[in-house]
Amino acid sequence: MADFKKLQVWQKAHALAVNVNKIGGALGATHSSLRSQMIRAAMSIDANITEGHGQKSEREFVRYLNIAINSAYELESHLIMGRDHEVLKPSDYLMLLEQLVEVRRMLYGLVKHIRASAPSLAADRS
């Protein structure tokens, strides 16, 4: 497979992780648990795309992409928690959420594309 860094979804996921780290780093010690969970989930999206891209089969790549999708939902939950507890500025929440939704949409699209190009994966929902 080609270099994972050329994948647009990886580039967007990496930018999201960088932004979550910047914004999360400013949350302070009183919100260290939320900060840690947000950063971990964002980095998991990026890392699972990378790790999956290095797998030998498309089935394994799809499995890692699904893990990345699950991490995206986890990150969304943490962002909502930060918003609701007024830890995240509304503008930061909206910016991160917008990036996250785009990455998740791209992940779903990539999974769909891989499944369509590999008939043996079309019925596989793992």
Structural domains of the chain in order of their starting residue, each with its CATH number: 10-22+31-121 (1.20.1440.60)
Percent of the residues in the chain that have a pLDDT greater than 70, as a whole number = 93
pLDDT score for 120: 73
Indicate whether 29 pLDDT > 80.
no
Element (H, E) at 17: helix 8-25
| Confidence category of residue 89, pLDDT binned at 50, 70, 90 | very high
Q: Please provide the average confidence, as pLDDT, over all residues in the chain.
A: 92
How far apart (Å, rounded) are the C-alpha atoms in residues 120 and 99? 32
Q: Whose CA is closest to 18, among 53, 42, 52, 50? A: 42
pLDDT surpasses 60 at 125: no
